[in-house]
Amino acid sequence: MTEAARPIAIFAPLASDAKVLAQVAESLGFACVLCGSQVDLIDVLNEDLLGIILSEEAAVPSVGEVLEEALETAPDWSALPVLFVVANTQNPPVACRALLARKPAGNIVLLERPVRPTTLRTVLQCQVRLRERQFQTADLLAQLQENERQKDFLLSELRHRSRNMLSIMMAMVQNSASHHQDTDSFLTSLQVRLEALAGASDRLTATEAGEVALDVILSDQVLPYCHSSDQLLTEGPEIVLSGQRAFDFSLIVAEMATNSAKYGGLSSPNGKVEVAWWNEKEGLSLRWTESGGPAVTPPERRSFGTRMIESLPRQYGGWSRLDFRPSGLVWACHLPDRPKNGG
């Protein structure tokens, strides 16, 4: 929520006071919420308020208790500005004294009435600037937490892919050796497949920056694991994925291809991976079907890769399901909010 959309709450039981206070706040471009009772004030107390203005008549002990609790339970970054307009700042109401006793109390300001509109405007502007810095801090903390989460995920993915890469390379060596009688043709075949595998890894890390067609993601991430290009069959409209969505989808496809090369359809020269996708009113749906590989049995435990395949689409409000059929693994997923169409 932007600062312009965040309101200032005003609790002044005398209608004339509430009107004057609101006029001053609105003259500065701030939205106002007028509270007619303590219940109304409680209803609007939240982290998105720019501040609160209370008159002497509103500063009763029960309101002070409500504000104390709100300040005590607020996030560490939050110090909600509270402005009291009272008859005597040297002998303020009980609610004011209780809040001023808190340390620190820099967000609590007392003005003595009658207060000049220019003075009220100046104090309000200072309090709002303070509050804006708090919201900026909150946004920065949220971004740092997201960066930390992303870093932890990528480290886990790196460890997982490193282990998988070794298994795949060993499988490639064994498979290439079984199909070539002489050393030269074996080395040539192995080199081609290893270069394709390295290229797929490079393209995976590059997808986050731009837009990538869905069929290109499939080709980049699946073909390096194929014995021949006709093992991958794709069908669907031209779809372009961008940014984080493209990167996450590439991670899933790379994981599916890796597992297929180790245990599924791509572990056999006669195996197939058929991928079909289509647009629906609610978004994009996709089905990955393997055949021609070893008989499939459900895993005894959910690995990191399985959890990733199932969880990443949920970040976009979608879903992902793995069906371990004896004839071959079937993966179905749905991404809402239809991605950008290519062409």
pLDDT tens per residue, range 210-269: 678 899 989 988 998 888 999 999 999 999 887 778 878 887 888 899 889 888 999 999
Give the pLDDT score at 290: 97
Intra-chain end-to-end CA distance of the chain, in Å? 35
Residue 54: name the closest of 28, 77, 81 by CA.
Answer: 81
Supply the pLDDT for residue 285.
94
Share of the chain above pLDDT 90, in %: 22
Task: Give me the phi and psi of 60, to 5 degrees please.
Answer: -85, 160
What tens digit of pLDDT does each residue of 290-330 get? Answer: 999 999 988 888 776 788 788 888 888 999 999 999 999 99
- What CATH code would you report for 7-138? 3.40.50.2300
pLDDT tens per residue, range 181-197: 667 666 665 665 566 55
What rounded mean pLDDT belongs to the chain? Answer: 82
Statement: residue 84 has pLDDT above 80:
yes
Question: In which element (H, E) is residue 208 found?
Answer: none
| Mean pLDDT comparison of 40-49, 53-62, 94-103, 162-171, highest-scoring range | 53-62
How many CB atoms within 10 Å of residue 110? Answer: 20
Strand order across the beta sheet in which 108-112 lies: 31-35, 7-11, 51-55, 82-86, 108-112
Stretch 13-26: mean pLDDT, rounded? 89
Q: Which two tokens stand for residue 200?
A: 């797929």
> CA–CA distance from 250 to each of 11, 154, 163, 258, 341 (Å)?
53, 13, 18, 12, 17
Between 103 and 249, the more confident residue is 249
**Domain chopping of the chain, boundaries:** 7-138, 179-336
Residues 40-57: what's their mean pLDDT? Answer: 87
pTM (2 d.p.): 0.48
- What pLDDT, on the 0 to 100 scale, is given for residue 264? 93
Which pLDDT tens digit goes with each residue over 110-138?
898 888 888 988 998 888 888 888 889 98
The DSSP secondary structure of 90-158, one letter per residue, reads TS--HHHHHHHTSSS-TTEEEEESS--HHHHHHHHHHHHHHHHHHHHHHHHHHHHHHHHHHHHHHHHHH
pLDDT at 189: 56
CATH superfamily of domain region 179-336? Histidine kinase-like ATPase, C-terminal domain (3.30.565.10)
pLDDT score of 195 = 63
Q: Which residue has the higher pLDDT, 75 or 198?
A: 75
The answer to which of 40-44, 117-121, 157-161, 325-329 has the lowest mean pLDDT is 157-161
Whether residue 8 has pLDDT greater than 60: yes
Residue 342 pLDDT level (bands cut at 50, 70, 90): very low
